[in-house]
A and B are shown apart, each in its own frame.
Chain A
Amino acid sequence: MKAAVIVFPGSNCDRDVQVALRKAMGQEPLMVWHKETDFDAVDLIVLPGGFSYGDYLRCGAIAANSPVMNEVIRRAGKGVAVLGICNGFQMLTETGLVPGTLMRNADLRYICRDVDIKVETSQSLFTAKYEQDQAIRIPVAHHDGNYFADDDTLAALEDRGQVAFRYCDAKGNVTPEANPNGSQRNIAGVYNETKTVLGLMPHPERLADPKLGGSDGKPFFDGLVEALS
């Protein structure tokens, strides 16, 4: 598998995801600067977490209009897998590659902590190494992760199985108490219609190493490598 990580000037999880990919792939991912308009063919494009261009207007809004993003959108259209984590998820909603949007957390505060999320399906490139309905522990770190979409969009998402992850308790129960940010239907991640594009708020790259307190994020990357190699 070949992977590219898009590096925006305010990205700050680019190195973290680079390390996780390197460990899973056994080779370096391509690091692509945001001013590039073309780069080598890859099987996976990652939009990493951070504050792309400061996020002063709306998170991910300026990144969604950056030079490199046209190319990302073009390749996503051709079926290349795209993964947006946190700020990357915000970019994906701003470009329309996945539906909905991410608003300020319901209690208005930034939140950084481990949360449990339920894997809605193992039938995707990204979740093949998990069981359906498995609860995995992955950290979130965001100020704007409150997933919103109108009722029709939500209904369509559910019908097509586009909800990837939901916030849950340690046993996998999707409860209001387990929702850290006010997201509708506890949604933590969504796919596009073909499940080749995934945006999620939690950071699997942050718990892919037992030294850091857990490795529930590791199968995420291992599964991608297996699916795309």
Chain B
Amino acid sequence: MKARVHVTLKNGVLDPQGKAIQQALGALGFGGVDDVRQGKVIEFSLQEADPAKARADVEAMCQKLLANTVIENYAIELDA
């Protein structure tokens, strides 16, 4: 099973990288771009075949390591 974890900053947390991207897009002439937020995607394959168990595992991984829940949200996608 393939897992994909999207890690993004929580609303209200300043995102200087997102701000820099927004400014750069503006400088390149892409007007009307607002609210740029950047994050990261982490992909891996899992041996676990049971989707419920897999989700629980990945959930634990996010809590423990992949995301810093003080400032970050995460979303999990699983593909059989």
Q: Closest approach, in angstroms, between the C-beta of B76 and any C-beta of chain A?
A: 16
Interface string of A95-108 (1 = CB under 8 A from B): 00000110111111
Q: Closest approach, in angstroms, between the C-beta of A13 and any C-beta of chain B?
A: 22
Among candidates A65, A104, A108, A182, residue contacting B64 with C-beta atoms closer than 8 Å = A65
Q: Are A103 and B71 in contact (CB under 8 A)?
A: yes
Q: Is B66 an interface residue (CB 8 A)?
A: yes
Q: Is A155 an interface residue (CB 8 A)?
A: no
Q: Is A149 an interface residue (CB 8 A)?
A: yes
Q: Are B16 and A148 in contact (CB under 8 A)?
A: no
Q: Is A62 an interface residue (CB 8 A)?
A: yes
Tell me which residues across on chain B come within 8 A of A107, comparing CB atoms.
Answer: 16
Q: Is A186 an interface residue (CB 8 A)?
A: no
Q: Are A182 and B65 in contact (CB under 8 A)?
A: no
Q: Is B45 an interface residue (CB 8 A)?
A: no
Q: Are A65 and B14 in contact (CB under 8 A)?
A: no
Q: Is A58 an interface residue (CB 8 A)?
A: yes
Q: Roughly how many angstroms separate A79 CA and B64 CA in the complex, as a whole number?
A: 24
Q: Is A94 an interface residue (CB 8 A)?
A: yes
Q: Are A104 and B17 in contact (CB under 8 A)?
A: yes
Q: Closest approach, in angstroms, between the C-beta of B70 and any C-beta of chain A?
A: 4
How many A-B pairs fall under 8 Å by CB? 35
Among candidates B13, B17, B65, residue contacting A61 with C-beta atoms closer than 8 Å = B65
Q: Is A18 an interface residue (CB 8 A)?
A: no
Those of B39-80 within 8 Å (CB) of chain A: 64-66, 68, 70-71
Q: Is B20 an interface residue (CB 8 A)?
A: yes
Q: Is A93 an interface residue (CB 8 A)?
A: yes
Q: Are A101 and B66 in contact (CB under 8 A)?
A: no
Those of A161-202 within 8 Å (CB) of chain B: 182
Q: Roughly how many angstroms separate A107 CA and B70 CA in the complex, as a whole number?
A: 21
Those of B1-36 within 8 Å (CB) of chain A: 13-14, 16-17, 20
Tell me which residues across on chain A come within 8 A of B13, comparing CB atoms.
Answer: 103, 148
Q: Are B71 and A101 in contact (CB under 8 A)?
A: yes
Q: Roughly how many angstroms separate A99 CA and B68 CA in the complex, as a whole number?
A: 12
Q: Roughly how many angstroms separate A1 CA and B20 CA in the complex, as a whole number?
A: 47
Q: Is A212 an interface residue (CB 8 A)?
A: no
Tell me which residues across on chain A come within 8 A of B17, comparing CB atoms.
Answer: 104, 108
- Given the interface pairs A101-B71, A103-B71, A108-B20, the reply to whether A148 lies near B14 with Cβ below 8 Å is yes
- Of the A-B pairs whose beta carbons lie under 8 Å apart in the complex, a sample of 22, sorted by A's number, is A57-B66, A61-B65, A62-B65, A94-B68, A101-B68, A101-B71, A103-B13, A103-B16, A103-B71, A104-B16, A105-B16, A106-B16, A107-B16, A108-B16, A108-B17, A108-B20, A146-B16, A148-B13, A148-B14, A148-B70, A148-B71, A182-B14
For the complex of A and B, 6 pairs with smallest distance between CB atoms: A101-B70, A106-B16, A101-B71, A108-B16, A58-B68, A101-B68
